[in-house]
Amino acid sequence: MTVNECWADIDGQQMSYVRAGNGSPALLIHGLLGGSFCWRFSLPVLAQTYAVHAVDLPGLSLSDDAGVDCSMLRQTKRLFAFIEQMGLSDLTVVGCSFGGAIAMLLAAMDAQASSRIRSLVLSAPVNPWSDFGRRRIRLLSTPLGGYFLRMVLPLSRPCHRLALRRVYGDPTRIPVDALEGYRASVMRPGRARNVLTALRHWQKDVELLREIIPRLSIPTLLVWGARDKAVDPRSADTLRRHLPNSQFKLIPEAGHLPFEEAPQEFNRVVMDFLASRDSASRIRTK
């Protein structure tokens, strides 16, 4: 399989992405402190059937752009421009955590304009019904909290292993390349400033999610690790009730990153969902 490293100019911001495979397109969106590398176990599987585009959001991942607005809504607008620029249609959007929230906002924006997105796969997406981390986000959004983050994040290297262990249900399953992959993203120059822009808009963006989620009618798969400590697995039930055309899969023993911790199971449930969606689509068009 050939994986091409590409760049796109989106509203004056350089955005890197990797592309692999052929077929209907799939867009992969990482979490707040992740990058396209998060999908290294899923991209080869998806690329057997789909033309996969795994993006590195501007201001995050391996980007060195400091002072970039990384709020959910701003990143959504960038990805909407990317979809239009690439001419993508009949599109599946896969997002995790912060990227899952962006995927829902993107689908809502698309529904009002072009209807290019046909389905969503959301791995523990940030949503209005999870209270995990809400107090911490409010604290870091204050001037004092922002000062603390700017001072501490560049010195946080010794804590990265512990932080990674917390997002895994079973730390013995952490891939050998995971620590350096996430560390490369966290330690980029200006990363604290960029993350703070997302945190300061967080509550407003989450309230927007509460408003738009009930309007999403495209087929949606929700995937959660049963031991997720970042986005409350209990919020999945409420989220599913607000999404009229959704399914839910719980991956036992996994934490917040089931696509890394249990990639075979994650890929299986995703491909089964997409295959059933494609089958239903073919039946409707006959």
CATH code for the domain in which residue 206 is found: 3.40.50.1820
Q: Mean pLDDT, to the nearest integer, of 25-38?
A: 96
Q: What is the mean pLDDT of the chain?
A: 92
**Distance between CA atoms of residues 106 and 127, nearest Å:** 14
Residue 214 has pLDDT above 70, yes or no: yes
- Taking a C-beta distance cutoff of 8 angstroms, is the pair 259, 266 a contact? yes
Candidate from 67-71, 91-95, 148-152 with smallest mean pLDDT: 148-152
Q: Mean pLDDT, to the nearest integer, of 85-110?
A: 97
For the chain, where are the E strands, in sequence order?
3-10, 13-20, 25-29, 51-56, 91-96, 117-123, 220-225, 246-251
Residue 29 has pLDDT above 90, yes or no: yes
Q: Residue 240: is it exposed, middle or buried by C-beta count within 10 angstroms (0-12/13-18/19+)?
A: middle
- Which has the closest alpha carbon to 274: 249, 254, 239, 257? 249
Which is more confident, 220 or 141?
220
Which is more confident, 141 or 285?
141
Residue type, 259: F
Residue 209 has pLDDT above 60, yes or no: yes
Q: What percent of the chain has pLDDT over 70?
A: 97
pTM of structure:
0.95
Q: What percent of the chain has pLDDT over 90?
A: 75
- Which has the closest alpha carbon to 29: 48, 5, 52? 52
Domain that holds residue 34: 3-285
**Adjacent-strand bridge partners of 92:** 26, 119
Predicted confidence at residue 10, as pLDDT, reads 87
Q: Mean pLDDT, to the nearest integer, of 153-181?
A: 92
- pLDDT tens by residue, 242-286: 998 999 999 999 999 999 999 999 999 999 999 988 776 666 655
Domains of the chain: total = 1
Predicted confidence at residue 135, as pLDDT, reads 85
